[in-house]
Structure 1
């Protein structure tokens, strides 16, 4: 008598996906954002007929490079359970100061490091207020936002035009294989490099693991002997450096600096990060998800421009998506708690 062994069927793609998501619950919002982005692409292409073209898709990165840089820094802060409302004002302040220094004849090799250091200093100040003076992140970053905006007005009350070729080159240069094909600018390359560095820091360094541990449970992280204070300070410094770098990129994008630049940008940044799957309570999220969130934001803005509608609809749509993703996050957190 021969004994027949049961034939094991190969798992289907759906079964593999379900198994992956059951083991990696934190990726569910990221995949949800990807699904929404793809649906927007397909819907816009079906409605307009000329949306998925190299020019339009390449412009998504070109137009939102500064926001992508801000989103990377904000991801680090939100993962710790904090918030940084100062990034838009810091971007404006560093842009104003940089444009002023360039107008006065300082070389770009000095101006850009000064902008980055100022951004880092603002981020460090917020971190110190939170860690050593026990100020809530919302209040500390709000104070920094007002301070940075005031400093921007102290530099100049009017717009400062930038004529430095090295700065303008960052946005005006298009790298493409042939005319009419996909293109990228140096500002887009900078934004993608920031995403890459941020993703590697979070995934493969002790600093990144500590960030997640703090956001998951700060008290447990302290009991494990992790450098909580130093890590949270560094998270805000990274956010400040990203704001300073965004000041460089945004100045190149507009060709000028203005004290009112970046008003509301901090809210756009937070919305993009949350839509990308980062929990507002901290401990769960990815830089890649934040990049998807920025692309969703840019696609909504571009689609509304195609329609010729008022840009206030961008805010309405982003608000609706933000509410949806907050609800999704609450469901995920409650299910994880029950498990």
Structure 2
């Protein structure tokens, strides 16, 4: 069986433990997070019920009334409403994962090439606003979706031109696009949310209870999974994918091997931009408004998802399905914290700590393999 570029270091095969870690590590982490929040949710529900019963008993005692038994039906309803491990919770979390997961597909390719894209959140907002503006102007839904994808692709192409033609480092080039795209989104929307007739985009793409029921999850989630398969196939079986890995491993060597680095980066960033544009369309489908302030800080979640999934900020490594698991981890962290009542400021600290930990673990993994 032939090995992908991500499974070799300097022409030699990676250690078996490394491949197993990249494959199973994120999945085990996701399982631990789900189980942990499930247990925490049950504990919180029990404590809340205990507190409620004590307070009610005290009120009745103060009023001189006898204790009243809790109706079993009412107690069962309370337990069902506060459970974390339910199908509805998983479906809602999957829907929240779609925008970050789709953007992570493009970011995976960029990070494999030793690049970075800090404009993701702003481009998601711009694509969402453009989609809403087109719908409000009476354009057909498919045309509006195409416009959102085109805007994302153009932003990605602009990033690539700044990197390849102006020789601006990716960090600075995409940081500039971060401001440009956010400003354009606010300008198009006149710094307000754009209410638009969402048509089937708002009623069928990201829904909690998909129709028909055999879909299990919403069509938007299936679209994310389909895109993941396509990106995996591109990276694994195409010349473009091999060139992306080669550039990320050693750009100078890639040039000596005859790889047209600039052209590859143009294609790479444009494709990643289309992925981000699609993420913006999905964001509109979930919110059903074009919000120029949406996806603030989403680039951090996207980058963290890729690194948690086995990608390396040094380039040359990355896993499409690992990035997908990383996106689910970020989503379940937020949903789980909300479910157990963790304050938003604590959530931000947790997410920041996860990002730092993921990058630190990536550095340790690389150091152990190279050593």
Q: TM-score, normalised by structure 1?
A: 0.88
Measured after TM superposition, the shift of residue 231 of structure 1 is 1.5
Instruction: Quote the offset at 1:262 in angstroms.
Output: 1.3
Maintained 8 Å contact 1:29/1:329: no
- What runs of 5+ residues in structure 2 fail to find an aligned partner? 1-12, 43-82
- Which among 6, 27, 30 is matched to residue 34 of structure 1? 27
How far apart, in 2, do the equivalents of 1:80 and 1:139 lie? Answer: 16
Give the whole-Å Cα distance in 1 for the aligned partners of 2:164 and 2:131. Answer: 30
Q: Indicate yes or no: 2:311 matched with 1:278.
A: yes
Larger radius of gyration: 2
Instruction: State the match for 1:23 in structure 2.
Output: 16
Q: Structure 1 stretches (4+) deviating beyond 4 angstroms?
A: none
Q: Distance in 2 between matches of 1:47 and 1:262?
A: 28
- Quote how far apart the aligned CAs of 1:67 are: 0.8
What aligned pairs does 1:188-267 form with structure 2 within 5 A after superposition? 188-267=221-300
> 1:12 corresponds to which residue?
none
Q: Check the 8 A contact 1:301/1:311 in 2, yes or no.
A: no
Offset at residue 24 of structure 1 (A): 6.4
Name structure 1 gaps, 5 residues minimum.
1-19
Number of residues paired by the alignment?
A: 317
> How much has 1:318 moved relative to structure 2?
2.2
Aligned counterparts of 1:265 and 1:279: Cα–Cα separation in 2: 19
Change (3 A) 1:176 1:258: closer
Q: Within 5 A, what are the aligned runs for 1:1-339?
A: 22-23=15-16, 25=18, 28-49=21-42, 50-156=83-189, 157-169=191-203, 170-172=205-207, 174-175=209-210, 183-338=216-371
Q: 1:324 and 1:27, CA in 2 relative to 1: closer, same or farther beyond 3 A? A: farther
Q: Indicate the residue corresponding to 1:10 in structure 2.
A: none
1:34 and 1:173 map into 2 onto residues whose CA distance is 24
Q: CA deviation at 1:136?
A: 0.7
In 2, Cα distance between the equivalents of 1:203 and 1:154?
Answer: 40
Show CA shifts across 1:210-235 (max 9, x none).
11111111111111112321211112
Q: For residue 175 of structure 1, give the secondary structure of its aligned residue in structure 2.
A: coil
Cα distance in 1, alignment partners of residues 169 and 131 from structure 2: 30
The CA distance in 1 between the partners of 2:131 and 2:37, in whole Å, is: 38
Partner of 1:4: none
User: Which moved further from structure 2: 117-126 or 226-235?
Assistant: 226-235
CA distance 1:125–1:182, shift in 2 (3 Å): closer
Aligned Cα RMSD in Å?
2.0
Deviations 1:212-265 (A, max 9, x none): 111111111111112321211112111210111111110010010111111111
